[in-house]
Structure 1
């Protein structure tokens, strides 16, 4: 009685005969059902909700398939109504002739009776020793941990209560009671277990993340490593006893070992209970406008203008497009005055929020108490990866245990730095016990020498650190919280700096507020400060304080109105604060929501920042080697870090087969010697991890390679093949065996000897005269040099294989004259439009075109010594007058005008320079130049005669890199392919997938633009799209 046949009818309502095939099939199904006495149900194939959504669905299909709506031969469902049919539609079609199919369908529907319970606590049972309950086992672990953290004599957990401070015991007992009453004992045990296991395996975890750092229980269990009492972190910010909700402890793990922790959880709880969590990519307003405009074939310039009129997110909040059209004057004007724009915006409003793609959440993992399919539907998201079909929010509503395992590269950097320090200097550092008052660390921060320091390395942050001159850990916590758009816009950072340095008086609304505001010099910075004031000044409970914090942060008006009077009256009655002071402070709190920050999270990240600063201050070479190892596949970062090494007096040496490892390494040195870092061989293109491993194993087995024949004899010719040898030679890794030019000219001879030695080793051949001295004679490697290659070619090889110039830079001899005569390219910004500038560097790329008038003009890429580039537009008159100077690889000074707007007046992705004159610099002139001590700077905007508009392309770059994670799905790859095909041009495109050591160069070359970047960023994330 549960077996049915199914019929559907999707003939077009205006032309029922368009689906004759389906009619014939339905007739045969009904005949078969009658013959075999099988009941029939009627259904509909629903692709969208309402019939009027059909045109929007067609647009969505075009977006997904990269088609235009106007194309005739494209995937389309427009000939069939595929909405969810109303009962009246079903009855009208089938009720007269086949009423039984409707009755059958109703019977099936009535059998479907499911109630999904929300708000349950579905935490797996933790396997505790048989003499314990979850509660008693947690208590024992907590007091053992508290003894380790707080007791001076480190007693046993049974004796701990006698030695622990009363404040610690009181806080712990309170938290344990709350955790037990909410049913979360098992939750904490599960987290404790995998963190403890990971630390035993040598995996580095962060000191905490988010509000969990406010729990002394998490601190006692070594889940977090920041003392919540000492740092004024509040438990109720993490768990509110007045509101039962699942706790949320996010875990930062060194990114190259994150998978091991997940594998441990799968092994412990079973692969039938553990799954990754799905994530859905939805169409944001601006992206929806671009997509709709593209499939409607709106000209790119018009589409770009329409998209840019959509306001960006404010404080991380996206305003719905329909609301923006009503409230934004420029957008409203475009909508009402331009029929084409109205069509695009109307359709974008309908598509905004639509799921565009789905994949696996980068960090989310769920652990169920039983077989996970009893709670959530699953899918095979990619080969071997099982994922829920419910996203994160629904998982939380169901009450399932959700974990965020977040890979953090900075922790890998710290771990590698500690390993290098131990190996090179023989010093073992416990990062968790570093003193937080180290003078050398604060001196480094006060100088702004924070390249590579977590959270503190942006140019703006460096400037504020120089002004602030931090002297205590609270200063770092505050800067991590304040350096965000909201506080910056409100002027809070400047006020904080002034008050810290005594340039502005520290004031608080009333002396009763001093305890909460003293650490930030009277400035309200953290959400926890609001909670602390609510408790201390107004007499709120911890739960009430958190409820107020949440209401203010999320602007829940009803709750705020309800608590307003209690807050004001509480301050008056509980602490004697005048009513007018409390009323004013309440008004100030209403604006605070726009910049308030979670202190627990800020404190945790401040601690990682301090760790990295400490390592950089005390072990600079080890820290920089570890940092470059983490960033070896990011050429832009690597160039910045090598420049930083030079400023620090650290030499970065080319790779060397006798000294290099996979990663960057510190060359052992005496205490009074300047340190140096050896380039890691994994960073050499075309070599590969396995070939490097073969070299290292041979070196460790047979000792250092004394000559080239040694190297060839002891390495495997199949792995160290001709291509690898060429790359080793060109990168400098074989410099100890001879000049690069000579080695490269002799490559065939080297390969022949390598193959012969490898074959002999494989065959086990021995000399006929026995194993005497004659048998040990190695074949000679014939090295011949004709001086075919020159020094400048060596540098080009380094750039080709290492991504940058290393042994020297072609512009080093020009450094003095360029420093004084030219502005650094990095200082030219979008808002410098119209200003005059003189720039200098080498011409790294040159491209000529012919204008509509038949004249030649050029686009010149100029690169400075630190690797920054700018495109110089050379109009016909200037090109004709300066053609002798505009030659690839020549060093030039260029005078011109900054241009950062297109012909429509919109800001471009990068500024250009419109050239007026070129001056060729000779090497002799550069060497003879005597510095004056006067540097040039940007000039005032220059008045120019109007020129006919020329559609100049955006800056031509070497390559576009797209980083994909292994969890990205075929849908994401398809979206990327569609976007690339829509922006074909001359820029090379490279994919970097997961942890693979080598990128994949794509056949498609693209034309880069801001719109292209935004479209791609909407699919893979802004951080995953980079221009090198």
Structure 2
């Protein structure tokens, strides 16, 4: 929408924009109420300051009479950009639809730049509103540079409207081709190809376009001899007369009327129809300022610098038919409605089907699925005679799957899981798929749905719309192997990854808004830092003043208009779609940043709305950590651990968890989980599923946590609103926690079928229909009455179900995660060194940094050894150490953790592999110079190793090694011996404990021999600051001051403004609770200082009684009253979570 720079004196432009008549001339720019409509444009003067350009045989028109605007004029907007034009549109597709409906339009086209990004949201909103839809795109031909960063990208625009499903598929395919032959943000379209496709297929309607269209460019060419006539004829002949229309627009420029008159003449001369549009970039006038800010952000210029390029008026909005008739010829307005009627179609008509899967000759998909399921069921459950209930469940599920035509879907997921097993890649299905016994026997999930009584109807019912949802977790560092298998097996043109639309958050919105308003980069950074990661901005359009950190009100206002809107396209964490035909015909495909991947222009919700089947292949770091741990154990002890054969219900594992010893354990290592473990005191596998589900936003907001724990500790009686609820709620002590319980409650009390109960669950989602809810309520109350339930109690039960539906956690999901909780806890309990090394090898992942993981292992007696150029592997590893313990007398010991080379600053994994390979090929290194010569490491990498102490085994301390490393600059395998720098250092003083700590933190981020606070302890005690151990040893309500390092901060949305810190020192960890008021008083300290002294009151809560009657572990927190920063050169980083 940029690039409006008329050839008119500014005094004349200002006069015309102010609606002042010219000297000696009456105003003619307002429609009269006395004359009927005419097909001629209303004139407001000459075309700029140039003489009017006319065709060779034309004569000037008389001034067109103004005309009356009739009511209910049919009009369809055929040129509209949403915010999916990425900073060149300021309204969501839904807002465009809403405004179009309010304006009485007969149809609306979405024509975003170079894509169909917003098509599903546009289609859904229009279908709900009853608005006719046209799908198109404005294609950029001849792009020489990436679009972002250009004030006015040098490309010609061609506006293409798809005629029906065939036209849509061809357009999507053309965009895909251009994307794949180009690069990200620079598709390569060829005009000849597009025009030939238009002429031969007749599937597209072309408009001559905006000021950057081929016709407008010819008009602006001073060397054009005939005012664009030849250019238009060439365009008509190339595209076909029936496929081209001359587009008329107005943007409040002085030459609008002259241009429209001239284009009208061209259309008459070439026999082409006129069509009126507004080249819409926002729905209403109120969005004009937002559009200007976006244009400045897109061009990386300030609004002041963009002043000459921005449209002067807010005319690029949706207009009513009556307004359009006052602005354009009648025929041009009517033509828009005709084109829209001819091109409109439902986007769902373009949806593909699933690809067929290879099956044995002579078999159907259903027969092949059964041939896989039955042996699996026999392996998992035994014979039909010994496990009739399980087999009955399997048979019922198979009947449902077959009747819904989903056999192929299950075969695809089974094939992916089979590939993982054959390649020794850890994977497991989760989510509602764990409700399926078929998924269990196929090896897709690890949860026995029959054993746990899970509802299959939560996963699949005959009334379900669309395919079920099966998520497969895969160890994160091997997920790419699985993704590439899917591409290769099903065809790269028929598989693609789902997009993730990256939207503005508060910090990025403030930064870009400040840039648009002309603030210097340093100010932009300062303003952005003044917005907390979890903060929100004022509502768009809401007037605001400067905030408490000095962010100016205008910046906040501009940022509010950006917040939540699309910024650019990313890639989903693991979603892939498969189709029976090229996906590029359904949704345009783009090359992903990662080589070998492609991504569609829609996100997961858009794909689901358009019936594209998504397969979630999700990377899970804990699976990587488990695999690494198990491999380390096998390599160093010879014991091969099978996760499926781990001892179940191991009391030692539950003892450890009840003591809140859970650092590194999957899903239960967070502050809230560790604080809950002693109180819930899990003693069985199912307790772990409850633990996973309990500390979630929903149960916390729904008030389920404390009632459940009180009942668990036998401090509150277990009660039910009605005896019929016992079967569904007994296992959670009468407190609903899971979505499946909601469904079971509806079935037991209201007489719902499984399908009815699933309908109720879906109806109670975030978008509730009052009519639908009323009908379901009536059905529930009728069913309850038939079962003898009092109406008042039935209403109370239904209300409880309705309230609970917003926060219920899937039981199947919780049980799937409980498997990983148990496996990781078992390894921590029995093989602590290997478990910690596995976590370190899988970084980044989890809640804790490598420093905290190593500190926890050290507190459990595990030996930690530093980086060594002759001993360390690429990643953390194990080595024999008789003195190293395992934390418990019966746990595996004798193994220490050796920090890996890749963890060293400026080394990384690739260089570390070179070092290990050189050592493996030619033996240990004898000197720093030899390391440099045999590996070719950079000076910075050598200095990183020296600072980490990696050359200690060569007889060099850190300072000596740094001296020598600096002299080896440029050494490589080609360097002649003796030609590099000296390999000995002068006598230098060694580093003291404090300097060593600083060096280790700088080089690797971890300290090997102790925690950083150890070197500060004496000074801290002198100031009266205690340790975390001191805090654990005092009574409830004691006022203390504890000093330590903040490892992470967390401000959950459910905590009513409270922020939680984890404070760590050499003795352990302490949970710090900071109220909203304290955060306001100490906000800058709290968010920027990571070495703190915290003064406050201790709160102690005893855990649940142990099985032997002894009191459980206490839960200790420090409620902060004051935060005091500690000045030190130690500068650890903290992690912030929400």
TM-score, normalised to structure 2's length? 0.64
Q: Name the CA distance, whole Å, in 2 between partners of 1:399 and 1:940.
A: 52
Displacement of 1:365 in angstroms is 1.5
What residue is the counterpart of 1:822 in the other structure? 1025
Are 2:898 and 1:678 aligned?
A: yes
Are 2:926 and 1:708 aligned?
A: yes
Deviations 1:430-477 (A, max 9, x none): 213323311121111111110001110122211211122210111111
What residue is the counterpart of 2:914 in the other structure? 694
Are 2:295 and 1:61 aligned?
A: yes
Q: Is the 8 A contact 2:690 2:814 kept in 1?
A: yes
SS at match of 2:363: coil
Q: Name the CA distance, whole Å, in 1 between partners of 2:969 and 2:558.
A: 66
Q: Name the CA distance, whole Å, in 2 between partners of 1:213 and 1:939.
A: 41
SS at match of 1:127: coil
What residue is the counterpart of 1:82 in the other structure? 316
Are 2:237 and 1:17 aligned?
A: no
Q: Is the 8 A contact 1:823 1:937 kept in 2?
A: no
What residue is the counterpart of 1:269 in the other structure? 490
Displacement of 1:548 in angstroms is 2.3
Deviations 1:75-121 (A, max 9, x none): 6233583335655565555538xx5x677767655552544336977
What residue is the counterpart of 1:497 in the other structure? 709
SS at match of 1:365: strand
Q: What are the equivalent positions in structure 2 for 1:146-295 lying under 5 Å apart?
A: 146-151=377-382, 160=383, 162-163=384-385, 165-206=387-428, 208-282=429-503
What residue is the counterpart of 2:573 in the other structure? 362
Question: Which segment drifts farther, 429-438 or 210-219?
Answer: 429-438
SS at match of 2:707: helix
What residue is the counterpart of 1:796 in the other structure? 998
C-alpha spacing 1:840/1:515, structure 2 compared with 1 (3 Å) = closer
Q: Name the CA distance, whole Å, in 1 between partners of 2:350 and 2:391.
A: 31
Q: What are the equivalent positions in structure 2 for 1:616-1015 lying under 5 Å apart?
A: 616-631=828-843, 637-669=849-881, 674-703=894-923, 705=924, 708=926, 717-741=934-958, 743-744=960-961, 747=964, 751=968, 759=976, 783-792=984-993, 793-808=995-1010, 811-812=1013-1014, 815=1017, 818=1020, 821-823=1024-1026, 838=1041, 865=1065, 900=1078, 909=1087
SS at match of 2:497: strand
Q: Is the 8 A contact 1:279 1:361 kept in 2?
A: yes
Aligned length: 834
Displacement of 1:186 in angstroms is 0.4
Q: Name the CA distance, whole Å, in 1 between partners of 2:940 and 2:553.
A: 57
C-alpha spacing 1:7/1:810, structure 2 compared with 1 (3 Å) = same
Q: Name the CA distance, whole Å, in 2 between partners of 1:680 and 1:448.
A: 29
Q: Name the CA distance, whole Å, in 1 between partners of 2:1067 and 2:989.
A: 28
Q: Name the CA distance, whole Å, in 2 between partners of 1:69 and 1:293.
A: 10
Displacement of 1:279 in angstroms is 2.7
Q: Is the 8 A contact 1:621 1:677 kept in 2?
A: yes
Displacement of 1:646 in angstroms is 1.5
Displacement of 1:305 in angstroms is 14
Q: Is the 8 A contact 1:551 1:557 kept in 2?
A: no
For 1:531, which of 736, 743, 756 is the aligned residue?
A: 743
What residue is the counterpart of 1:596 in the other structure? 808
For 1:560, which of 773, 792, 813 is the aligned residue?
A: 773
Are 2:359 and 1:128 aligned?
A: yes
What residue is the counterpart of 2:1049 in the other structure? none
Q: Name the CA distance, whole Å, in 2 between partners of 1:697 and 1:381.
A: 32
Are 2:676 and 1:442 aligned?
A: no
Deviations 1:898-922 (A, max 9, x none): 99456899996468999999xxxxx
SS at match of 1:357: strand
SS at match of 2:934: coil
C-alpha spacing 1:131/1:509, structure 2 compared with 1 (3 Å) = same
Q: Name the CA distance, whole Å, in 2 between partners of 1:937 and 1:250.
A: 37
Q: Name the CA distance, whole Å, in 2 between partners of 1:83 and 1:290.
A: 27
Q: Name the CA distance, whole Å, in 2 between partners of 1:137 and 1:791.
A: 70
Q: Name the CA distance, whole Å, in 2 between partners of 1:954 and 1:61.
A: 45
Displacement of 1:18 in angstroms is 7.4
Q: Is the 8 A contact 1:277 1:360 kept in 2?
A: yes
Displacement of 1:144 in angstroms is 1.4
Q: Name the CA distance, whole Å, in 2 between partners of 1:658 and 1:294.
A: 50
Displacement of 1:261 in angstroms is 1.2
Q: Name the CA distance, whole Å, in 1 between partners of 2:473 and 2:827.
A: 19
Q: Is the 8 A contact 2:280 2:316 kept in 1?
A: yes
For 2:281, which of 31, 39, 47 is the aligned residue?
A: 47
Displacement of 1:173 in angstroms is 1.3
Displacement of 1:341 in angstroms is 11
C-alpha spacing 1:204/1:17, structure 2 compared with 1 (3 Å) = same
TM-score, normalised to structure 1's length? 0.70
Displacement of 1:426 in angstroms is 1.1
SS at match of 2:880: coil
Q: Name the CA distance, whole Å, in 2 between partners of 1:292 and 1:712.
A: 52
Q: Is the 8 A contact 1:282 1:357 kept in 2?
A: yes
Q: Is the 8 A contact 1:722 1:747 kept in 2?
A: no
Q: Which has the higher helix share?
A: 1
Q: Name the CA distance, whole Å, in 2 between partners of 1:272 and 1:912.
A: 50
Q: Name the CA distance, whole Å, in 2 between partners of 1:377 and 1:371.
A: 10
Deviations 1:905-964 (A, max 9, x none): 9996468999999xxxxxxxxxxxxxxxxxx998996999xxxxxxx99999969899xx
C-alpha spacing 1:397/1:500, structure 2 compared with 1 (3 Å) = same
Q: Is the 8 A contact 1:635 1:804 kept in 2?
A: no
The runs of 5 or more residues in structure 2 that have no matched partner are: 1-198, 200-238, 886-892, 1032-1037, 1047-1062, 1096-1115
Q: Is the 8 A contact 1:12 1:19 kept in 2?
A: no
What residue is the counterpart of 1:774 in the other structure? none
Q: Name the CA distance, whole Å, in 1 between partners of 2:346 and 2:972.
A: 71
Q: Name the CA distance, whole Å, in 1 between partners of 2:848 and 2:817.
A: 24
C-alpha spacing 1:663/1:171, structure 2 compared with 1 (3 Å) = same
Tell me how large the CA RMSD over aligned residues is. Answer: 5.1
SS at match of 1:603: helix
C-alpha spacing 1:825/1:608, structure 2 compared with 1 (3 Å) = same
Q: Is the 8 A contact 2:278 2:315 kept in 1?
A: no
C-alpha spacing 1:464/1:827, structure 2 compared with 1 (3 Å) = farther
C-alpha spacing 1:503/1:280, structure 2 compared with 1 (3 Å) = same
SS at match of 1:717: helix
Deviations 1:663-695 (A, max 9, x none): 111113459854310001110112233332233
Q: Name the CA distance, whole Å, in 2 between partners of 1:500 and 1:462.
A: 17
C-alpha spacing 1:559/1:435, structure 2 compared with 1 (3 Å) = farther
Q: Name the CA distance, whole Å, in 2 between partners of 1:727 and 1:60.
A: 43
SS at match of 1:363: strand
Q: Name the CA distance, whole Å, in 2 between partners of 1:406 and 1:378.
A: 21
Displacement of 1:45 in angstroms is 3.1
C-alpha spacing 1:483/1:668, structure 2 compared with 1 (3 Å) = same
SS at match of 1:226: coil
Q: Name the CA distance, whole Å, in 1 between partners of 2:781 and 2:266.
A: 77
Question: Which segment drifts farther, 108-117 or 643-652?
Answer: 108-117
SS at match of 1:450: coil
Q: Is the 8 A contact 1:910 1:955 kept in 2?
A: no
Displacement of 1:146 in angstroms is 0.8
